[in-house]
Structures are given as C-alpha cells and as structure tokens.
C-alpha cells in the first residue's frame, strides 16, 4: 500500500471564486475518469467553474509527469474535492437606509491523479 501512495500526484487551487457546491457538481462528474475523458467533459460543460478545475487538473497531471515520471495518458482522477474558503463580505444599499449583506464565496479545489490499475 505504501507504493501506491507515492504514485499519487496532487494539485490544489485555493481561494477560487465560486461556491463549493457549484464546483462539487462538476467534480462529481469527472471523479474516477481518465485524464483525457475528463478534459473533454470539462471543455463542453456549460458551467463557469470548469475553467479553474481544468487549470488544477492540468497542474496535477504536470506534477505527475515531471515529479513522478508518469505517462499522462495512463492517469486517472483518484480524488477530487472542493472545500469552502473564506467569504468576502460586501454590503448593498437598500431602501430606507438599510444595507443588504452579500457573501462572495470562495472555495479550495484539490485534485489527485494516479496511474490506472
């Protein structure tokens, strides 16, 4: 089991603008798929979060290729998670002197790739 943990390459995208729940719905679609299939799926999905996810996925594959010497065509997405980051708090003026709070959410994306078994 120790050998498999060393052949996992990871990448993290931190403080990505967008809610974690909207990023998770995309990550659920690509988890467990091959690198090429995931790239094709991300290219044609209609969601805004596919851009940052693609960047993190490419970074994880580059880490696997350069640091571990793995072939990108044999890689599979082992794990993909999105956790909540800090929320930026903004206020919008409303009628009669009131203020409406706006939370601009961020998230942290983590993707790990491993060679297919």
CB 91 within 8 A of CB 99: yes
CB 21 within 8 A of CB 117: no
Q: Of the candidates 28, 53, 56, 31, which has an alpha carbon nearest to the alpha carbon of residue 42?
A: 53
**CB burial class (10 A; 0-12, 13-18, 19+) of residue 43?**
exposed
Report which secondary-structure segment, H or E, holds 109: strand 106-115
What does the pLDDT look like over 24-57, one tens digit per residue?
Answer: 999 999 999 999 999 999 999 999 999 999 999 9
Mean of pLDDT values over 87-95: 97
Residue 114 scores a pLDDT above 50: yes
Fold of 8-115: Ribosomal Protein L22; Chain A (3.90.470)
C-alpha span between 92 and 77 (Å, rounded): 41
């Amino acid at each position: 089991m120790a050998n498999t943990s060393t052949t996992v390459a990871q990448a993290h995208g931190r403080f990505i603008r967008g809610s974690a729940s909207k990023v998770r719905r995309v990550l659920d679609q690509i988890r467990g798929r091959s690198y090429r299939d995931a790239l094709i799926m991300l290219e044609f999905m209609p969601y805004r979060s596919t851009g940052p996810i693609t960047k993190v996925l490419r970074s994880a594959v580059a880490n696997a290729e350069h640091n571990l010497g793995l072939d990108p065509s044999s890689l599979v997405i082992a794990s993909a998670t999105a956790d909540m980051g800090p929320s930026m708090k903004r206020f919008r003026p409303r009628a009669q002197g009131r203020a409406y709070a706006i939370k601009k959410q961020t998230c942290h994306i983590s993707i790990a790739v491993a060679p297919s078994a």
